[in-house]
């Protein structure tokens, strides 16, 4: 898909939490890097009437910790508010007239950003299509969760595909846009010494972990319907796993990357509930005001692949809220016949992007004692002056550029649900034990 030269960004849900926390700061960053130019149009849609002062306030509060510079002014002057009822076709006609003003600049290229819960997509997509706002120049950005289970994911894909072709749809998984996540692939492609090691003869276990020291931070409604498995594992952690294990494609085109990911995901056996643990942090039930809630805030599960290259390797995915630290990393343990001689390679996604190779070295002096020590490559040391680009800024830029590499395809979404479905089933009748763990735990057992 070609680059959108004069994109108009239409944000459904400008007043929402996601828009304030991630989207507006990312747009500000894109103005700062010159990816978005003065004169760019952004239409901020809300069910309620917003004055230009309200818009300004939303932007100021979303940039509170960032520099209030000229680019904040560019962003504020780009945004026009529009009140719209998603069920009302005539409101979409009004949106169309507003958009027509940009046609004088050339073909109007629209980027619809659905910064709203997926349950609210249906009338918007239907009315965009009815109003003729789904031409081939238009792109649709969708936020996870991509469905609630396999069946709802399929219906949501059906719904979207009635109005937009898959090449126009960008399903955001912001973990794929994180710097170290991107490096997972680049590292393997450009460091041939690791290529012969990337199989079950050499790798014993891959452990992907994402811990947050915070809890659900007031998102009771969302979380009660979602839980840790749907919120983090189905999307972010499964995607990191696919990126780590897939065969590196010969060409780094979006379609080749998606094909390689799907090949790996299709080789995975469905999850076994007996090899999974789910937990809930102590205090969660009071926080969501549901004394009997069995929604999990922690999940650990083990997957295996049936492919010739990966048979026998353990793939462990682990995510928890209210843990002792905030960290996300991918740890690859290499096989050894000697328990004390074990090497591992770790990609730390956050905080402090780092790649570490754990090696054994002899202690100095007259002893022959060996010690584990890391060969460590920290991004901030190697690139001290580099500008960190936020994952959301990267995601929007790629959508403008028409590069779908860092987005989840329909088939990936379906594969991930298929793999995790047995856990959803086992947990739905609450028969599978839920462990209550103390806030700030290092692990859950």
Token pair recorded at residue 175 = 């973990």
Q: What angle do CA 101, 104, 110 make, to 5 degrees?
A: 65
For residues 171 to 210, the per-residue mask of contacts with ligand BG6, x marking binding by CB under 6 A and - elsewhere, is: ----------------------------------------
Q: How far apart, in Å, do the first and last CA atoms of the chain sit?
A: 47
| Nearer Cβ to ligand BG6 (112/392) | 392
The number of residues making up the chain comes to 445
- CB 176, min distance to ligand BG6, A: 11
Q: Which residue is nearest to ligand BG6 (CB)?
A: 231
- CB 388, min distance to ligand BG6, A: 13
> b/e map of 154-172 (b: 16 or more CB within 10 Å)?
eebbeebeebbeeebbbbb
- CB 212, min distance to ligand BG6, A: 6
Count of residues engaged in binding ligand BG6, rule: CB under 6 A: 2
Residue 212 sits in the site that holds ligand BG6 (CB under 6 A): yes
Please report, to the nearest 10 degrees, the dihedral formed by the alpha carbons of residues 194, 310, 247, 187 taken in order.
-30
Q: What one-character-per-residue DSSP string does 200-242 give?
A: TTTEEEEEEEEE-SS--TT-HHHHHHHHHIIIIIIIIIHHHHH
| Nearer Cβ to ligand BG6 (41/236) | 236
- CB 240, min distance to ligand BG6, A: 11
Residue 29 sits in the site that holds ligand BG6 (CB under 6 A): no
371 - beta bridge partners?
Answer: 361
CA distance 111 to 42: 9
Residue 353 sits in the site that holds ligand BG6 (CB under 6 A): no
The SS3 of residue 270 is coil
| Nearer Cβ to ligand BG6 (70/217) | 217
| Nearer Cβ to ligand BG6 (231/329) | 231
- CB 46, min distance to ligand BG6, A: 21
171 - beta bridge partners?
Answer: 142
Using the rule CB under 6 A, which residue among 91, 138, 231, 318 binds ligand BG6? 231
Please name the residue that has the structure tokens 């994911």. 153
Catalytic annotation, residues: 236
> b/e map of 207-238 (b: 16 or more CB within 10 Å)?
bbbbbbeebbeeebeebeebbbbbbbbbbbbb
> b/e map of 100-129 (b: 16 or more CB within 10 Å)?
eebeeeeebbbbbbbbbbbeebeebbbbbe
- CB 220, min distance to ligand BG6, A: 12
| Nearer Cβ to ligand BG6 (37/388) | 388
What are the distances in angstroms from CA 413 to CA 98, 112, 113, 133?
34, 20, 19, 26
- CB 295, min distance to ligand BG6, A: 12
- CB 221, min distance to ligand BG6, A: 13
Cβ–Cβ < 8 Å for 327, 243: no
CA distance 443 to 434: 14
CA distance 54 to 44: 11
In the complex, the residues that contact ligand BG6 under the rule CB under 6 A are: 212, 231
């Amino acid at each position: 898909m070609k680059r959108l030269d004069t994109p108009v960004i239409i944000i459904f849900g400008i007043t929402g939490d996601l828009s304030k926390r991630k989207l507006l700061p990312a747009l500000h960053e894109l103005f700062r890097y010159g990816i978005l130019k003065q004169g760019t149009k952004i239409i901020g849609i809300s069910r309620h009437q917003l004055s230009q002062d309200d818009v300004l306030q939303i932007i100021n509060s979303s940039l509170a910790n960032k520099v209030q510079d000229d680019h904040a002014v560019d962003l504020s002057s780009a945004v026009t508010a529009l009140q719209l009822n998603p069920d009302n076709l005539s409101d979409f006609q009004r949106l169309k007239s507003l958009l027509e003003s940009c046609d004088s600049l050339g073909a109007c290229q629209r980027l619809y950003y659905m910064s709203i819960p997926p349950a609210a997509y249906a009338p918007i997509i239907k009315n965009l299509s009815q109003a003729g706002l789904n031409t081939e120049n238009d792109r649709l950005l969708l936020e996870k969760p991509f469905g609630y289970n396999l069946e709802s994911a399929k219906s949501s894909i059906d719904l979207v595909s009635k109005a937009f072709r898959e090449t126009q749809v960008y399903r955001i998984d912001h973990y794929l846009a994180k710097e170290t996540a991107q490096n997972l692939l680049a590292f393997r492609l450009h460091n041939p010494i690791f290529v012969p090691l990337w199989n079950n003869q050499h790798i014993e276990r891959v452990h992907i972990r994402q811990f947050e020291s915070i809890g659900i931070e007031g998102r009771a409604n969302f979380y009660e319907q979602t839980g840790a498995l749907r919120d983090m594992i189905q999307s972010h952690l499964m995607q990191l796993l696919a990126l780590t294990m897939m065969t590196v494609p010969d060409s780094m085109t979006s379609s080749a990357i998606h094909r390689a990911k799907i090949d790996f995901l299709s080789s995975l056996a469905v999850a076994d509930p007996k090899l999974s643990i789910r937990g809930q942090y102590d205090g969660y039930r009071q926080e969501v005001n549901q004394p009997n809630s069995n929604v999990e805030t922690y999940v650990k599960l083990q997957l295996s692949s049936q492919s010739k290259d990966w048979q026998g390797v353990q793939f462990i995915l682990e995510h928890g809220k209210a843990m002792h630290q905030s960290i996300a990393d991918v740890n690859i343990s290499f096989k050894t016949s000697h328990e004390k001689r074990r090497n591992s390679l770790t990609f730390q996604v956050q905080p402090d992007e780092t790649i570490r190779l754990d090696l054994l070295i002899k202690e100095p002096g007259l002893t022959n004692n060996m010690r584990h020590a890391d060969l460590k490559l920290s991004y901030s040391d190697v690139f001290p002056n580099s500008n960190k680009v936020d994952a959301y800024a990267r995601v929007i830029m790629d959508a403008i550029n028409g590069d779908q590499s860092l987005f989840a395809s329909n088939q990936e979404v379906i594969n991930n649900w298929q793999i995790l479905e047995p856990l959803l089933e086992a947990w739905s009748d609450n028969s599978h034990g839920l462990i209550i763990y103390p806030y700030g735990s290092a692990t859950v057992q």
